[in-house]
Chains A and B, each alone.
Chain A
């Protein structure tokens, strides 16, 4: 069968060991980085500035020799753009939106100034990484929202560097003002002006990610997993839609990344109820438009959701985008083409093309190859 290029709306890099070296002296032991031990256990861990993660758990692959090799390939490709290009060629992926890995976790660290410093270094590094092939790599900046003025400055800076998206804390922290507060408006205004959609991605909010649990804490893993994978829905409803952000910024688009999509019918139903009978009963302020109107500016990333059809039936096929989650555990590499077929073929060719290729290109302005047919061999041909 002829392979056609697909585009990943949600892939990840792995930040290298020396990334935060320039600020090592300033933050000492607080600084995120690789560690060899945690809770008395030896191994490769990453300290995020708050929590620990075992590296071989978060990257796809495990202890069998073949899987170990896969894991090594993934780690190499996550730090080296040229190794990465080889991988995406092999996988039939034309382009990727590059999100962070460890910085997602560092967004939860307590020291706001350190998080901002890390964001800056990361944003420079991922910009550099993406510049290895600007057609096929699109960088997402990380922006911590503790200080809105700093966030605005950093957004202006990364916009000049060509980053196409900005990933903010998926929810405001309990001690911060909620995102609907007018103090954040200058940030949303800039996102709108730069046409850079803010992204709410799992891990960056107030719920602890399962990969940071160890020992007895793992008794709560299923619960936290489901909770973290639902964290952005109330934020979308409360802040962006009912909180008026999308009314005040009518061209702002928002991306919900890695939450998959089969939750959409339920949350839509609840939002219909909130704008209807609940607002009647409790007399609170409704947004200016109907919920469905705002959903046209909300984009959704999914990997292999078994119930994508329910989401397409609910919101149509124009705002849903497949992603590989490369190189994380359960990522689709090197079988992305197969996974896309399995997940999307039932929707029909037109919808499958939108979800796996065109939607992401449209949102992020990705230049497409002249032909969608994947050449049989190698980088040179693939990049035409």
Chain B
């Protein structure tokens, strides 16, 4: 061994995440979202045939599960309300996460109209430049090489037909 292993210190949590919510409030939001999901499934299953209690139809299972989901969400909300004074926080809004997620959202929009290789190439450049802070020319070159590799591996080797777009 030449030197002792060590992990460098990370920046303080939340230093790059501007939106900080209390665990209590965030937990409530999450539980309310789950409650609404349960209500949605229970509500949308009402037009379906329920059958009988002994011979359930297609609407029975989702309705019961929707109600159970609502019940669990209520329990979590009660727990969250009880822990109102907890000091824990959850941080959001990390720049890299937002950029990566925005870039991912663009992919399904462009994938078929623009073609897979161009879309994924642009996606790769965006991630390398804005998340990786890589020089744009270097990022473009790396992405171009990457797309050739993608084409060779997926199309030539695996025979996968990916959308070519207008080109």
Q: Do A and B bind each other?
A: no
Give the A-binding residues of B (Cβ under 8 A): none
Give the B-binding residues of A (Cβ under 8 A): none
